[in-house]
């Protein structure tokens, strides 16, 4: 399960400021209420997006290490296909997550393949992750307690798992941004933190091109 914590981290995000992160948990809410208030503008903007492209930086803060582990790369999200996550620094690695399963490639060679039919947890992670990319928070209420707050143009939402299965992967996640998800903070059950920042994100309302579809072909 820990092999794909990087991808699960995209299920939730937060503003980096600790005070804002703490404050959001003071505002319990529902998916319907979030879409009508805190997420009204970004969810509307994402409603017609079929493909998102962008870059990311990833920092993993481990309690036993004095400095975070850093990585960066690019990603492609296609609404009906999944997420293609390409780490370029400090090593070359590709992670593909779909509702059917996940694949990991290091240096062009496949190192992991898990089917959602054989590993139900993969399907849960995929469903949550893809819902967060489009801010489909109403579909998350069965698995999470939801929280949300807004200050000016910036919004923050948070999730705490209700079930033991999801809680075994992370215990709290916070998502923050303005027009879209911009930063991700995930705290796991060991209190290690994963922080992902999304940059230079572009949207397309057109169906995925053949080049995009090729990324997801196994």
* Tens place of pLDDT per residue across the chain (218 aa): 545 444 444 433 333 334 345 589 999 999 999 999 999 999 988 888 999 999 999 999 998 888 999 999 999 999 989 999 999 999 999 999 998 899 999 988 899 999 888 887 787 778 877 888 888 899 888 889 999 999 888 999 999 998 776 777 778 889 999 888 898 888 888 888 899 899 999 999 999 999 999 999 87
In the beta sheet, which residues pair with residue 92? none
**125-157: b (≥16 Cβ within 10 Å) or e:** bbbbbbbbbbbbbbebeebbebbbbbeeeebbb
Which three-class secondary structure state does DSSP give residue 107?
A: coil
pTM of the model: 0.82
Q: How far apart are CA 185 and CA 12, in angstroms?
A: 7
Q: Please tell me the predicted confidence (pLDDT) of residue 21.
A: 52
Question: Would the CA dihedral through 202, 205, 208, 211 be positive or negative?
Answer: negative
Under DSSP, the state recorded for 10 is: G
Question: Which domains, and CATH codes, for the chain?
Answer: 2-215 (2.50.20.10)
In the numeric block, which tokens belong to residue 133? Answer: 């990319």
- With the CA atoms of 62, 64, 66 and 71 taken in that order, what torsion angle do they form, in degrees rounded to the nearest 10? -30
152 phi and psi angles, rounded to 5 deg: 65, -130
Scanning the structure block, which residue is given the tokens 């990585």? 71
pLDDT for 167: 74
Residue 160: the pLDDT is 92
């Amino acid at each position: 399960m820990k092999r794909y914590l990087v991808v699960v981290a995209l299920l939730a995000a937060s503003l980096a400021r600790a005070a804002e992160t703490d404050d959001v948990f003071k505002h319990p809410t529902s998916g319907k209420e979030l879409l009508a208030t805190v997420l009204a503008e970004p969810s509307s903007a994402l409603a017609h997006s079929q493909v998102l492209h962008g870059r990311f930086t990833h920092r993993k803060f481990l309690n036993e290490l004095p400095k975070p582990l850093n990585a960066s790369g690019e990603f492609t999200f296609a609404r009906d296909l999944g997420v293609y996550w390409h780490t370029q620094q400090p090593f070359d690695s590709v992670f593909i997550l779909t509702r059917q399963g996940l694949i990991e490639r290091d240096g062009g060679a496949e190192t992991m393949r898990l089917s959602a039919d054989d590993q139900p947890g993969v399907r849960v992670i995929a469903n949550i992750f893809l819902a967060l990319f489009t801010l489909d928070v109403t579909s998350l209420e069965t698995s999470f307690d939801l929280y949300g707050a807004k200050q000016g143009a910036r919004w923050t939402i948070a999730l705490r798992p209700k079930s033991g299965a999801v809680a075994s992967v992370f215990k709290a996640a916070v998502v923050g941004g303005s027009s879209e998800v911009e930063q991700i903070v995930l705290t796991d059950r060991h209190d290690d933190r994963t922080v992902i920042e999304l940059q230079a994100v572009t949207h397309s309302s057109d169906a995925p091109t053949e080049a995009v579809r090729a990324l997801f072909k196994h």
